[in-house]
Copies of this chain bind each other. A is one copy, B any other.
């Protein structure tokens, strides 16, 4: 099967890393295509960034439909554009926060999210509520690292995040850690070793979840909210988004 992993920001080094981690867990016959959108923000650290990442994500999904993609992963912990993407994709679409939180709830009674900037914590709480995972989420903790610091060679990110995970496990008395940014995907095994606790990376979880749904021939129900959008006029900069 063919899975498209959309990193909603335009930072190619992060996209490459995400693609690599996705391939590492995919089944042998799964083809992973990892992309950044053709437009949008270099990183997502606000509602503003998140909202403006969505046109680029939808552009990639519309392209993906022509490329015979079987399933999609949206690889940003805010799961931007998830519902809109489901409306236009034939196959399943999974968000990495969604996949990570669901997985966490099956291996522990509680989890803590460790994310980047404090201002994004509420977004994670909102998703936990939307997915029904609030009862498992003991805390969402910021490491105060900007997203792109994770990409800077020589940064201290690895140490800071590991330490934030340690504190989370001790203070929140959580059973496991959910990494709250796609850019942390490569730290998963290392932090698990360092802390002795299960550490959950949304990118790899979402790949397995998408594979599972595609294998089971389960895709977005088109009976309700997520039916294909009605055709209508789109104007200005976004005229290209009009659906036939």
Q: Name A residues whose Cβ lies closer than 8 Å to a Cβ of B.
A: 10, 25, 27, 37-43, 45-52, 54-56, 58, 81, 83-84, 86-88, 92, 94, 98, 102-103, 105-110, 118-123, 126, 129-136, 146, 169, 173-176, 196-198, 200, 204-205, 208-209, 211-213, 215-216, 218-221, 223-227, 229-230, 232-239, 241, 243
Q: A198 CA to B55 CA in the complex, in Å? A: 28
Taking a contact as CB atoms under 8 Å apart, the answer to whether B205 and A47 are in contact is no
CB distance from A63 to the nearest CB of B (A): 14
Task: Give this chain's copy count.
Answer: 6
Check A39–B220 contact: CB distance below 8 A: no
- A–B Cβ pairs within 8 angstroms, 24 of them: A37-B236, A45-B229, A45-B230, A46-B230, A47-B83, A51-B58, A52-B58, A52-B84, A102-B105, A102-B106, A107-B219, A108-B221, A109-B122, A109-B226, A118-B224, A123-B225, A126-B130, A129-B129, A132-B134, A146-B230, A175-B226, A200-B218, A208-B212, A211-B212
Residues from chain B with a CB closer than 8 A to the CB of A56 are 236, 238
Distance in angstroms from A239 CB to nearest chain B CB is 8
- With both chains docked as a complex, state the minimum distance between the C-beta of A112 and any C-beta of chain B, in angstroms: 11
Across the interface, name the chain B residue whose C-beta is closest to A133.
Answer: B132
> How far in angstroms is the closest Cβ of chain B from A91?
10
Would you call B84 and A229 a contact (CB within 8 A)?
no
Closest to A240 in B: B237
Separation in Å of the A54 CB from the closest CB of chain B?
A: 4
With A and B bound together, what is the CA distance between A108 and B204 in angstroms? Answer: 22
Residues of B near A87 (CB, < 8 A) are 46-48
Contact between chains at A215 and B208 (CB < 8 Å): yes
Given A52-B238, A55-B237, check contact A223 B132 (CB 8 Å): no
Q: Are A39 and B213 in contact (CB under 8 A)?
A: no
Residues of B within 8 A of A51 (CB): 51, 54-55, 58, 81, 84
When the two chains form their complex, are residues A48 and B235 in contact, meaning their CB atoms are under 8 A apart? Answer: no
Closest to A61 in B: B48
Which chain B positions have C-beta within 8 A of A198?
218-219, 221
Most buried by B among A27, A118, A119, A132: A132
Measured between beta carbons, the chain B residues less than 8 angstroms from A219 are 107, 198
The answer to whether B25 and A216 have CB atoms under 8 Å apart is yes
